């Protein structure tokens, strides 16, 4: 049980640091640490496929996208003056929320977990779930992926000059 608490501690601390840090690049790096913590949690929950995807895509690809976007808008990030009080008081608000939720949340969810149905013999491999049981979702994913590619292509379309027309 202690390893779970340690990983959860890492996740919460990195999330809080990513919210309260002043520079956007630090926020993006702390988000990568958060993703690493979540993938460690997945590995300890015996979910290696989800852990590998989380580690490679969320901790790798999304961090690269964030850092490149932050570097593109860097000039405004330095000039952007925002009121820092709401970030500095955030740990205090989070502690109050944690105390309140420690009173109400565990009782409610221990009640809720009694309604779950424990399934026997669910030892089928992940590939069977992806390709057979949720095979239609692959079409949805491909549609979303192609839609996002078209959107990004149109966002960064070059304007034609008068000579090219």
With CB under 8 A as the rule, give the number of residues binding other proteins: 80
- Nearest Cα to Cα of residue 43 among 5, 7, 2, 1: 7
**53: which 2 tokens?**
């995807």
Residue 86 interacting with other proteins (CB under 8 A): yes
Cβ 53 vs Cβ 35: under 8 Å? no
The DSSP output letter for 23 is S
Residue 10 interacting with other proteins (CB under 8 A): no
Cβ 32 vs Cβ 59: under 8 Å? yes
**158: which 2 tokens?**
């070059």
22, 23, 61, 78: which one binds other proteins (CB under 8 A): 61
Q: Which one, 61 or 164, has the nearer CB to other proteins?
A: 61
Residue 60 interacting with other proteins (CB under 8 A): no
Shortest Cβ 99–other proteins spacing (Å): 11
Residue 76 interacting with other proteins (CB under 8 A): yes
Q: Which one, 121 or 161, has the nearer CB to other proteins?
A: 121
d(CA 13, CA 51): 20
- Taking CB under 8 A as the criterion, which residues in 97-156 touch other proteins? 97-98, 101-102, 105-110, 113, 116-120, 122, 124-126, 129-130, 133-134, 137, 141, 144-145, 147-148, 151-152, 155-156
- Taking CB under 8 A as the criterion, which residues in 32-51 touch other proteins? 34-35, 38, 41-42, 44-47, 49-50
Shortest Cβ 164–other proteins spacing (Å): 21
d(CA 2, CA 131): 36
- Mapping DSSP to helix (H, G, I), strand (E, B) and coil, where does residue 146 land? helix
d(CA 45, CA 92): 31
6, 16, 40, 78: which one binds other proteins (CB under 8 A): 16
């Amino acid at each position: 049980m202690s390893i779970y608490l340690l990983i959860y501690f890492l996740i919460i601390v990195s999330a809080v640091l990513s919210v309260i840090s002043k520079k956007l690049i630090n926020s993006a790096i702390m988000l990568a640490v958060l993703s690493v913590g979540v993938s460690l949690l997945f590995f300890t929950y015996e979910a290696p496929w989800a852990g590998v995807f989380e580690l490679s895509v969320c901790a790798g690809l999304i961090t690269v996208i964030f850092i490149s976007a932050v570097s593109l808008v860097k000039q405004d990030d330095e000039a952007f003056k925002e009121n820092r009080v709401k970030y500095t008081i955030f740990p205090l608000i989070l502690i109050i929320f944690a105390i309140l939720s420690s009173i109400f949340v565990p009782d409610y969810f221990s009640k809720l977990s009694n309604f779950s149905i424990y399934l026997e013999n669910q030892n089928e491999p992940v590939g069977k779930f992806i390709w057979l049981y949720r095979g239609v979702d692959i079409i949805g994913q491909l549609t979303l992926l192609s839609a996002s590619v078209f959107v990004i292509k149109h966002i960064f379309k070059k304007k034609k000059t008068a000579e090219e027309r």
